[in-house]
Amino acid sequence: MTRTMFTGAYTAIVTPFTRAGKVDEPRLRDLVEFQIANGISGLVPVGTTGESPTLDHHEHNHVIELVVEFAAKRCKVIAGTGSNSTDEAIAMTRHAKEVGADASLQVAPYYNKPTQAGLYAHFRAIAEASELPMILYNIPGRCGVDIANDTMARLRRDLPSLVVGLKEATGNVDRVSQMRQLVDKEFSILSGDDSLTLPMMAVGAVGVISVASNIVPGEVSRMVAAALRGDFVTAGQIHATLFPLFKDLFIETNPIPIKAALAMAGKIEETYRLPLVPMAENNKAQLRKTLTALGLVK
């Protein structure tokens, strides 16, 4: 395999809350230890799965600080510091660098729907102001805007030491093939969809930023490691086993199902902040059935 800065399985880690709705720091520490003990390559705090939209700025920064502290250099930390305000993203990314994050995850600006020229200027400004390696996050289903492959490739060419990777969450495997033709081999393309990790790796991705690995970090890590060494038979077997879980974790809006799953496994309280609410009972029953079949709950 080619040498890239970020390869392997990275967990988009949830932000656990207490029953009173505060960030549950002891449970967060436990989750980090669980991830590292099961061989995860890195952690991604306060992305979508970490409920970043409902954390205030102090909480957002503090969760990143905590994950960096708890990880203690035993795995990489990619801090979610994206925003639809460039100045806000710069401030959060500078903070992430100061506290020791290895990189930032920069989602496309949401709601204000910039042009491709605006996207380029936004990401370039963050990279140059923070000097922290950046992984672009393309998820038009949530943001309402698609970062064009040409825009990403231009950023990579112009800022090769800072724009180091892509989390591809369009649901389109062809985008990986197309992007691979536009960028150098050391640019890290990571799947943003658990169920598409294996097909994306078959055409050039080098890992995943995973939701499922919150509860099955060892299995996701082994699947990705097998694919990286070219053992797609083993990787395919793990994928087939985990596929029902991959799908059920998106039976409702992420991160509702994964937090429900972790609560069923006794790892966190099942607490959300509005506008997120607990799962519908029929969906929760389906998720429990899948978790039970995998031996994750009794």
Q: How far is CA 49 from CA 15, 250, 276, 298, in A?
A: 8, 11, 12, 25
Q: Which two tokens stand for residue 234?
A: 């083993």
Q: What phi and psi, each to the nearest 5 degrees, are found at residue 160? A: -65, -25
Residue 182 belongs to a domain: yes
Residue 87 belongs to a domain: yes
What confidence score (pLDDT) does residue 5 get?
A: 85
Residue 117 pLDDT grade (very low, low, confident, very high; cuts 50, 70, 90): very high
Q: How far is CA 9 from CA 45, 111, 191, 203, 220, in A?
A: 14, 29, 10, 17, 7
Do residues 221 and 38 touch, judged by C-beta distance below 8 A?
Answer: yes
Q: Which two tokens stand for residue 88?
A: 């806000």
What confidence score (pLDDT) does residue 4 get?
A: 62
For a pLDDT cut of 70, what percent of the chain falls above it? Answer: 99
Residue 239 belongs to a domain: no
Question: For 102, how many CA atoms within 13 A lie in the half-sphere containing its CB?
Answer: 21
Strand partners of residue 190: 167
Distance CA 134, CA 107 (A): 10
Judged by DSSP in three states, 31 sits in helix
Average per-residue pLDDT in the chain? 96
Residue 161 belongs to a domain: yes
Q: Which domain holds residue 57?
A: 8-231
Do residues 14 and 49 touch, judged by C-beta distance below 8 A?
Answer: yes
Residue 267 belongs to a domain: no
Q: Helices marked H in 23-143 — which ranges?
A: 25-37, 57-71, 86-99, 116-130, 140-143
User: Which of the residues are catalytic?
Assistant: 137, 167
208-211-216-222 Cα dihedral, nearest 10 degrees:
0
Distance CA 252, CA 190 (A): 23
Residue 298 pLDDT grade (very low, low, confident, very high; cuts 50, 70, 90): confident
Question: For the residues 17-42, what does the mean pLDDT come to?
Answer: 98
Please write the tens of the pLDDT for every residue from 135-167: 999 999 999 999 999 999 999 999 999 999 999
What confidence score (pLDDT) does residue 276 get?
A: 97
CATH of the domain at 189: 3.20.20.70
Do residues 127 and 90 touch, judged by C-beta distance below 8 A?
Answer: no
Residue 45 belongs to a domain: yes
* CB proximity list for 71: less than 8 A, separation 6 or greater: 32, 36, 43, 77
Do residues 99 and 131 touch, judged by C-beta distance below 8 A?
Answer: no
CA angle 168, 63, 155 (to 5 degrees): 35
Neighbours of 281 (CB within 10 A): 8
Sign of the torsion angle spanned by Cα atoms 23, 28, 29, 30: positive
Q: Is the pLDDT of residue 68 over 80?
A: yes
Place of tokens 């990619």: 78
Strand partners of residue 167: 137, 190
Do residues 190 and 159 touch, judged by C-beta distance below 8 A?
Answer: no
Question: For the residues 155-182, what does the mean pLDDT come to?
Answer: 97
DSSP-derived pairing of the beta strands 134-138 and 163-168: parallel
What confidence score (pLDDT) does residue 122 get?
A: 98
Cis-peptide into 255, omega within 30 deg: yes
Residue 242 belongs to a domain: no
Distance CA 168, CA 233 (A): 24
Residue 2 pLDDT grade (very low, low, confident, very high; cuts 50, 70, 90): very low
Residue 248 belongs to a domain: no
pTM of model > 0.85: yes
Q: Is the pLDDT of residue 3 over 80?
A: no
How many independent structural domains does the chain possess? Answer: 1
